[in-house]
């Protein structure tokens, strides 16, 4: 196995380099250069160029790795290591100038995420973790919240931009949570939602219709911060299953119970 701590340092540098490119491009960004991949699924040349930067650098750091990325760079040759990358998580925020978007880079070894880096560009906040080494924000150790119940909690979520067949169930969950917790927040970046859970800024996060690159880096950061990651059925298919539930250990079952009252797969 490679030296993950050494790989981490290089990966953080790559994330920040891509972030610097994204930050600079935002200054004079032209809305006319936005493309639409699908219903409400937006992409720009900035996403694509940032991905090229990231992939070219990571290929040097770990030549023996495959790739899964949002904007199409993919190689699945059965290698033990796989980079899972979202070059710009929060593209819609970026396009509209809402300052919450991030570079997200996860590394999977066989069937397990072993490294994650999420760089929030606007606040210059770099969250990262390596399996068994704890989770950090800009060099400082982070931990999930110690809140003991949903009634003490702030919950983050995301709104679907497709898959609207489940929207009624989702809205029922929101209504129930609004009556039982401190509040519900929608930031617009799943990677950042996970990091906010990891750092105790929110107690829980749930969302459906997600992709592996939305989740991979943030997942290990949550777990190394002492939190819990599952799918909506408290199973382990949060990476490829499409739905994600992250929280501190105290409220996980209570939050899942609220979802399961109405949710049907």
> What CATH code is carried by the domain that includes residue 157?
3.40.190.80
Do 9 and 137 fall within a single domain?
A: yes
Do 44 and 132 fall within a single domain?
A: yes
Whether 214 has a binding-site annotation, put simply, is yes
Which residue range forms the structural domain that includes residue 254?
150-261
Q: What pTM, to 2 d.p., does this model score?
A: 0.93
> CA 108 to CA 36: how far, in whole Å?
29
As for how many domains the chain has, the answer is 2
Whether 193 has a binding-site annotation, put simply, is no
pLDDT digits (tens, 9 = 90+) for 3-44: 999 999 999 999 999 999 999 988 888 777 676 655 445 567
Residue 75: band (very low, low, confident or very high) from pLDDT cuts 50, 70, 90: low
Do 134 and 170 fall within a single domain?
A: no
Do 75 and 170 fall within a single domain?
A: no
pLDDT for the residue numbered 39: 47
Helix axes 4-26, 45-61, angle to 10 degrees: 160
Residue 47: band (very low, low, confident or very high) from pLDDT cuts 50, 70, 90: confident
Q: Averaged over 158-187, what is the pLDDT?
A: 89
The C-alpha angle 181, 144, 166, rounded to 5 degrees, equals 50
| 110 burial level (CB within 10 Å; 0-12, 13-18, 19+) | exposed
The SS3 assignment for 81 reads: strand
Q: Domain holding 17: CATH number?
A: 3.30.540.10
Whether 88 has a binding-site annotation, put simply, is yes
What percentage of the chain reaches a pLDDT higher than 70? 92
Q: Is pLDDT above 80 for 98?
A: yes
What percentage of the chain reaches a pLDDT higher than 90? 75
Do 87 and 190 fall within a single domain?
A: no
């Amino acid at each position: 196995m490679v030296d993950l701590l050494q790989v981490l340092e290089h990966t953080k540098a790559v994330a920040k380099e891509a972030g610097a490119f994204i930050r600079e491009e935002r200054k004079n960004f032209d809305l006319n250069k936005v493309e639409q991949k699908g219903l409400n699924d937006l992409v720009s040349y900035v996403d694509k160029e940032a991905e090229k930067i990231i992939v070219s650098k990571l290929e040097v750091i770990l030549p023996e790795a495959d790739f899964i990325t949002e904007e199409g760079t993919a190689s699945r040759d059965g290698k033990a290591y796989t980079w899972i990358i979202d070059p710009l998580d929060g593209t819609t925020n970026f396009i509209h100038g809402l300052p919450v978007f991030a570079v997200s880079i996860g590394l999977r070894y066989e069937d397990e995420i072993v490294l994650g880096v999420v760089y929030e560009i606007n606040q210059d906040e770099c969250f990262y973790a390596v399996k068994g080494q704890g989770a950090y924000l800009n060099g400082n150790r982070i931990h999930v919240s110690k809140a003991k119940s949903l009634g003490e909690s702030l919950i983050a979520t995301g709104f679907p931009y497709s898959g609207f067949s489940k929207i009624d169930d989702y809205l029922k969950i929101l209504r129930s949570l609004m009556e039982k917790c401190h509040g519900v927040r929608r930031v617009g970046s799943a990677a950042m939602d996970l990091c906010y859970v990891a750092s105790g800024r929110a107690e829980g996060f749930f969302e459906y219709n997600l992709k592996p690159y939305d989740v991979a880096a943030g997942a290990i950061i949550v777990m190394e911060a002492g939190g819990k990651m599952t799918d909506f059925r408290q199973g382990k298919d949060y990476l490829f299953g499409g739905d994600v539930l992250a929280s501190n250990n105290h409220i996980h079952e209570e939050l899942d119970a609220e979802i399961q009252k109405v949710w049907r797969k």
